[in-house]
C-alpha cells in the first residue's frame, strides 16, 4: 500500500474514533437535538436598552437571574412568521420567574408589527432595535436568529433559521440552561 494511502486510512480511522468518542457527549447535549450552536464559554451578552411596542424600556440588566431567549426577526421574513406561534407556546410552558422571552426587530412600523402579531394570534414582547446596534452586537447575519442567555449573562446558544420552539427538545434546552446555568 502506498504511503499516501496509508496516511489517508489512518486519518479516516482517527476521524471515526473521534466521532465515536464524541457521540455519547453529543447525544446527552440538548443543544444538539435542536441544532443550536454552543457559544464559547465566558462569552457575555452586551448590555442593552430597547423600547417595546407599547413604549416601555427593557434593560438587559433587569433580566439578571433569568434565562433569556432573544429572537431577532422581521415582518418580511417568512421563516420568522412561521416560528412566532411556537415561540409564544414555549413562553407559556416555562416559569416566568426563571425565563424571559424577548423578540427584537429592526422594523420601524409599530402599527404594522401590532397587526402582524394580531394576525398570527401571538402575544410576545417586541423590542425595537432601530439603529441595529443590538443586532450587530449579537452578530445577527440572518433571520430569524435566536440567542440563549444564561442567568449570569453568559451567551450559551445560538440558532440561525427557524425552529419548533414549542418542541420537547426546545423546552429541554431552556430547562437545561435554567437548571445548569449553561
Contacts of residue 164, Cβ cutoff 8 Å, sequence gap at least 6: 83, 86, 170
Calculate the dihedral angle through the C-alpha atoms of 164, 167, 170, 174, rounding to the nearest 10 degrees.
Answer: 130
Q: What does the pLDDT average to over 65-88?
A: 96
Neighbouring CB atoms inside 10 A of 122's CB total 18
pLDDT per residue as tens digits for the range 15-39: 443 333 333 345 578 899 999 999 9
Burial class (CB in 10 A: 0-12, 13-18, 19+), 159: buried
Write down the pLDDT at residue 72.
98
pLDDT per residue as tens digits for the range 35-46: 999 999 889 999
Q: Which of 143, 132, 126, 111 is nearest to 51 (CA)?
A: 126
Q: What is the pTM of this model?
A: 0.84
Write down the pLDDT at residue 3.
57
- Residue 10 pLDDT exceeds 90: no
> Which is higher by pLDDT, 83 or 6?
83
Q: What does the pLDDT average to over 57-67?
A: 96
Write down the pLDDT at residue 181.
82
Amino acid at each position: 500500500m502506498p504511503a499516501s494511502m496509508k496516511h489517508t486510512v489512518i486519518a479516516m480511522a482517527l476521524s471515526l474514533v473521534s466521532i465515536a468518542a464524541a457521540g455519547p457527549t453529543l447525544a446527552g447535549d440538548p443543544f444538539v437535538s435542536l441544532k443550536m450552536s454552543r457559544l464559547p464559554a465566558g462569552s457575555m451578552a452586551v448590555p442593552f436598552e430597547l423600547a417595546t411596542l407599547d413604549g416601555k424600556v427593557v434593560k438587559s440588566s433587569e433580566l439578571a437571574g433569568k434565562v433569556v431567549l432573544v429572537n431577532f426577526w422581521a415582518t418580511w421574513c417568512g421563516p420568522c412568521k412561521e416560528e412566532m406561534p411556537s415561540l409564544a407556546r414555549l413562553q407559556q410552558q416555562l416559569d416566568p420567574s426563571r425565563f424571559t422571552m424577548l423578540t427584537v426587530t429592526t422594523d420601524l412600523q409599530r402599527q404594522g408589527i401590532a397587526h402582524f402579531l394580531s394576525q398570527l394570534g401571538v402575544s410576545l414582547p417586541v423590542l425595537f432595535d432601530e439603529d441595529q446596534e443590538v443586532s450587530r452586537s449579537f452578530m445577527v447575519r440572518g433571520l430569524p436568529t435566536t440567542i440563549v442567555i444564561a442567568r449570569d449573562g453568559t451567551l450559551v446558544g445560538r440558532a440561525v433559521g427557524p425552529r419548533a420552539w414549542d418542541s420537547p427538545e426546545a423546552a429541554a434546552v431552556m430547562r437545561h440552561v435554567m437548571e445548569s446555568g449553561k
